[in-house]
Homo-oligomer: A and B are copies of this chain.
């Protein structure tokens, strides 16, 4: 580990507490002022710290830009894929990954069942939004107003007798899902197929994707499938953690809990 870099990086959390002048920084680092000055200058050139009018230093907005760019380039599919494969190897069933985009829920990854009987679905295809377990999870996390507006606007095709029939029933189901943190689809799309699903959350606690395990009745009963729920949830949580940049040990809340101090606007 590099001492110089270590010292420089230690300045950042220090400044996060509030602006500080050169002397304060040097003191808290335990180094000579000239050393602190040099480190601060380097941080400054990279835009990580900003010098305000009174010559004190504070964190730079560039930090924010950096974080934002990183979030934008995060590919949930790439991160999740190995976990999906792993889950498939453990349970043998079809595993799906879905995201929300423009009022639709889309499958973006899939690992096929190892059983001969497979269900039909296609990556990139919009899911049956009113019945699919992954859709329920994602929509349940939308802001109240948006959720309601969307629910009213949707069609409720009766794929089977167990399909959700109307907006009221759908909203009620979403409330349940939101409460319990997981979802199922028991024959709501195709008579003989059941799914269990769990949400994947970003660092701010919002649901950014959902994953599910699906299997036809002829292979496992709904009850048997439900026994996989803990595993599915654990996997989803692991993906959430990885997506959020790892378990930062200390002061960041667990990825699957709602951050208490979530800011007004959220990263996409």
Name A64's contact: one of B53, B61, B71 (CB within 8 Å). Answer: B71
A181 CB within 8 Å of chain B: no
Chain B contacts for A18, CB-based, 8 A: 73, 75, 264-267
CA distance A203 to B68 in the complex (A): 12
A231 CB within 8 Å of chain B: no
Q: Is the CB of A61 within 8 A of B203?
A: yes
| A63-B65 contact given A8-B5, A242-B53, CB 8 Å threshold | no
A141 CB within 8 Å of chain B: no
Chain B contacts for A244, CB-based, 8 A: 61, 64
Name A246's contact: one of B39, B51, B106, B247 (CB within 8 Å). Answer: B51
Q: Is the CB of B72 within 8 A of A63?
A: no
Q: Which of A23-31, A41-49, A186-194, A215-223 contacts B (4 or more CB under 8 A)?
A: A41-49
CA distance A254 to B62 in the complex (A): 13
CA distance A69 to B13 in the complex (A): 9
The size of the chain A interface, using a CB distance under 8 A, is 85
Besides A6-B46, A50-B101, A59-B73, 7 more A-B contacts (Cβ < 8 Å) are A1-B42, A1-B45, A8-B9, A15-B70, A68-B125, A68-B263, A123-B265
Q: Is the CB of A106 within 8 A of B65?
A: yes
CA distance A248 to B66 in the complex (A): 12
Mask for A101-129, Cβ within 8 A of B = 1, else 0? 11010101111000000000011111000
CA distance A251 to B126 in the complex (A): 29
CA distance A154 to B251 in the complex (A): 40
